[in-house]
Amino acid sequence: MQPTPTEPVNAQKKRRGLTRMWHAARYSLDGLRAAWQETAFRQEALAAMVLVPAAFWLGQTWLETAVLAAVVVLVLVVELLNSGIEAAIDRMGDQWHALSKKAKDMGSAAVLLSLLLCMGIWLAALWQRFAH
């Protein structure tokens, strides 16, 4: 039986209010648990556990502290998106395809750029704090 145009295909879409928020939070935690199984995410998360508190020590204004913490969290966000892309590509099959490679390479490049941005900002902050 086909769903009618007004009836959602996924029963999850009918949830509203606190029920929707509760289930969304559970899905997010499931995503973090799945990401923790990935070595790269685990390494970056452990670094974040050190760097985010260190941002409060290194930052001299609230804006510096926010930027230092934000670029660390940005690395985690980009890694999650990259892992999601990889999982979706891998679900389609294990055959090599140029578009699959392109998608995975671009996700990897996004992680690299976020890491370089993070390192650049942290190095500049450390330089400003200790080299002057």
**79 noted as active-site residue:** yes
97, 69 Cβ separation under 8 angstroms = no
Q: What is the DSSP letter of 14?
A: G
Largest CA distance in the chain: 72
**7, 44, 79, 86: the active-site residue:** 79
Sequence-ordered list of residues with C-beta below 8 angstroms from that of 60, at least 6 positions apart, any chain: 129
Token pair in block for residue 63 = 């804006």
Q: What is the DSSP letter of 30?
A: H
Contact in structure between 81 and 110 (CB atoms under 8 Å): yes
Active site residues per annotation: 79
